[in-house]
Structure 1
Amino acid sequence: MMEGITFAHPQFFWLLLALPVALAWYIFKRDQQAPSLRMSSTQGFGDGGWLPKLRHGLILLRLLALAAVITALARPQTQDVSSKTKTTKGIDIVMAIDVSSSMLARDLKPYRLEALKEVASEFIKERPNDRIGLVVYAGESYTKTPITSDKAIALRSLEEITYGQLNDGTAIGMGLATSVNRLKDSKAKSKVVILLTDGVNNAGAIEPATAAELAVEFGIKTYTIGLGTNGNALSPISYNPDGSFRFGMRQVEIDEKLLQEIAATTGGQYFRATNNASLESIYDEINKLEKTEVEEIKFRRFEEKFRPLIFLAGILLLLEWVLANTLFRSML
């Protein structure tokens, strides 16, 4: 019954200490409340029955009424708390994803591209207040999803990314330039590109350095990620007669110097992911570095619960008055 009830003025409960004092005073003085008759013997008189004993219950009614009034003074109430979040500093993020054939290498489980999609999916879910866009690139690049606040669309587009949608190759400059083009007109307080590749720039009409300068011009920070284990990795090396890939061990080649330069030029950071765990930790780190300022506004609606207590006190006092002037009138 009292679940969820709080008291605005709990200090009034100190008044409850007066109730046992009042009861003790009544017990002490009750012999003086009725006239006495001295007799040598009460033999032949009955004990008066149970009715005279019940008259002492009137003081209990009065004390219960006072307890109800004191509780009402403490203002019992329930509150309904609702909150509303307001983004005070939004971030627009474009994830540029390499989809070249080397992203099928199996040094990450089950393979690089699928491992990336799993981690990137969690990253998107943890950015509820930001807009996310997707760019894919191989020998060329295109926008998979423009920046959107609809996470369901972004997640569905991420799931649809597969190898074979573009000519093979690694056009890092094109991937970055397309990402910059998606963000250049953004009004967000912060604009970020997360560019991931597992190779070296070997295709595309735009040099990575040129794309990095464009990012600086439009105030776009770039985090770069080199994906691949150190040494050799089981990678596609040729085609089988049926058109499927033949896998073999191949040296992992990542132009880390280029990725470091892009990150340094644009004010971002470079990371190296050599396994699933390190890839996940990198996205966690970027998630911490790019914090969105969110203001939470709480609304509290109070509902007063003292009125039933006042009504109860009135009923108890009325009952005491009625009993005192009817049933127990001749005994008081």
Structure 2
Amino acid sequence: MWQNIEFANPEFFWLLLLLPIAILWFFLKRKEEMATLKISSLKGFAHPSFLSRLKPALFVLRLLSLALIITALARPQTEDISTRTKTTKGIDIVMAIDVSSSMLARDLKPNRLVALKEVAADFIKKRPNDRIGLVAFAGESYTKTPITSDKSIVLNSLRDISYGELEDGTAIGMGLATSVNRLKESKAISKVIILLTDGVNNSGFIEPQTAADLAVEYGIKTYTIGLGTNGNALTPISYNRDGSFRYGMRQVEIDEALLQDIAELTGGKYFRATDNEKLEEIYEEINKLEKTEIEEFKYYKYEEKFRPLIFLAGGLLLIEWVLRSTVFRSFI
């Protein structure tokens, strides 16, 4: 009952300074409350009775009552706070992911595609109030997941993305155009594409510039990420007899000028990720750049606790009055 108590008017506790004054006054004036009789000797009188010694208890009861009343005036209360949030500015995001064979390069650990999936999963978990979709592209593109608010679906689809689903190649224009197609009907205030690739546009029948113009027409901002270390990377170059990849060092080729143009034209930003840590930093920066506005409502419920104190103080005063009028009447 008395846990987590707060006081609405704590300034009333200054009145407790009256208590020591009242005690001092009691000791100075208590002899004046009793009638005095001057005699030469007390030998003929009995010693004071035990009951008479208890008379100061009446004053103690009055002090306790005063202390309780002052505490009640300070209004002890408990506070219950409930909150409700409302998304005032939602963001629809499509993550366009390159799944070509070069994404199996091992300059990021364990390889580019796995590193990307881990970082992208963390990004998705940090966007609980937004709708997110996935587009995969290589030599062509397709929608892996339409934009949805169900993050479990998005995370499962992201986990299932792998090389071999599409014809090999890098169709940046196709990946961007498919992402625009997923967002063009969106009613969200902010629409964003995060396009990641590690190569040069060499496939598809839609030019990246055309896809970027479509993004501008529909008011879709595009963040582009070039993935791969500077220089050479251990990349699949051929197949072994058992069907596994044979790896060899190959020059990393990323059309950074194209990615920069797409980002600049659509109002986004271009990033270059050369290792796992840099990739994490990029997604964290995008997360900060694209903030969803949340309106929070707080509801306060106060439960007053002063009533028991008033009842207790009244009870003590009643006891004091009854004792003063009965048991201690002969001493007053």
**TM-score, length-normalised on structure 2?**
0.97
1:258 maps to 258
Task: List aligned pairs for 1:279-318, cutoff 5 A.
Answer: 279-318=279-318
1:123 maps to 123
1: distance between equivalents of 2:74 and 2:249?
78
1: distance between equivalents of 2:162 and 2:70?
71
1:51-105 per-residue CA deviation (whole Å, 9 max, x = no partner) reads 2111101111111111111111111111111111111111111100011111111
List structure 1 segments (4+ residues) > 2 angstroms apart after TM superposition: 43-47
Secondary structure, counterpart of 1:213 in structure 2 = helix
1: distance between equivalents of 2:40 and 2:318?
41
1: distance between equivalents of 2:244 and 2:76?
73
2: distance between equivalents of 1:94 and 1:13?
60
- Alignment pair present for 1:71 and 2:56: no
What percentage of residue pairs aligned between the two structures are identical? 73
1:269 maps to 269
1:234-273 per-residue CA deviation (whole Å, 9 max, x = no partner) reads 1111111111111111111111111111111111111100
1: distance between equivalents of 2:26 and 2:92?
76
Secondary structure, counterpart of 1:42 in structure 2 = coil
How much has 1:22 moved relative to structure 2?
Answer: 1.5
1:202 maps to 202
Give the partner amino acid of 1:292: T
- Alignment pair present for 1:9 and 2:9: yes
How much has 1:49 moved relative to structure 2?
Answer: 3.3
Give the partner amino acid of 2:184: K
1:226 maps to 226
1:213 maps to 213
Secondary structure, counterpart of 1:230 in structure 2 = coil
1:244 maps to 244
- Alignment pair present for 1:145 and 2:145: yes
Structure 1 window deviating more from structure 2 (127-136 vs 174-183): it is: 127-136
How much has 1:163 moved relative to structure 2?
Answer: 1.3
2: distance between equivalents of 1:158 and 1:57?
78
2: distance between equivalents of 1:127 and 1:47?
85
Aligned residues: 332
2: distance between equivalents of 1:131 and 1:45?
96
**TM-score, length-normalised on structure 1?**
0.97
1:200-250 per-residue CA deviation (whole Å, 9 max, x = no partner) reads 111112111111011001000100000000011111111111111111111
2:136 maps to 136
Secondary structure, counterpart of 2:170 in structure 1 = coil
How much has 1:122 moved relative to structure 2?
Answer: 1.2
How much has 1:44 moved relative to structure 2?
Answer: 5.1
How much has 1:154 moved relative to structure 2?
Answer: 1.5
Structure 1 window deviating more from structure 2 (228-237 vs 18-27): it is: 18-27
1:17-39 per-residue CA deviation (whole Å, 9 max, x = no partner) reads 11211121121111011112222
How much has 1:326 moved relative to structure 2?
Answer: 2.3
Give the partner amino acid of 1:330: S
2:29 maps to 29
How much has 1:325 moved relative to structure 2?
Answer: 2.0
RMSD: 1.2
